[in-house]
Amino acid sequence: MREAIDERFPSDDSQRRAALQVVLDAPPVELPPPEQLRRELEEIRTQRG
């Protein structure tokens, strides 16, 4: 999450803090196992080049 927020709001601390607060205030959700999340993240990163 931090990487995505920093990428979207690279120089605006107040917007980064607001985006983080939205994430922290969101209700919990079910997530797949960490290994699956790692694979998905790697796929996204390799698509970016």
Q: What is the mean pLDDT of the chain?
A: 88
Mean pLDDT on 9-18: 84
For residues 8 and 19, the answer to whether their CB atoms sit within 8 Å is: yes
Structure tokens at 22: 């939205």
Inform me whether the pLDDT recorded for 7 exceeds 90: no
In terms of Cβ atoms closer than 10 Å to its own Cβ (0-12, 13-18, 19+), residue 5 is: middle
In angstroms, the CA 10 to CA 32 distance is 29
Domain boundaries, the chain: 2-48
For residues 15 and 9, the answer to whether their CB atoms sit within 8 Å is: yes
Mean pLDDT on 22-26: 92
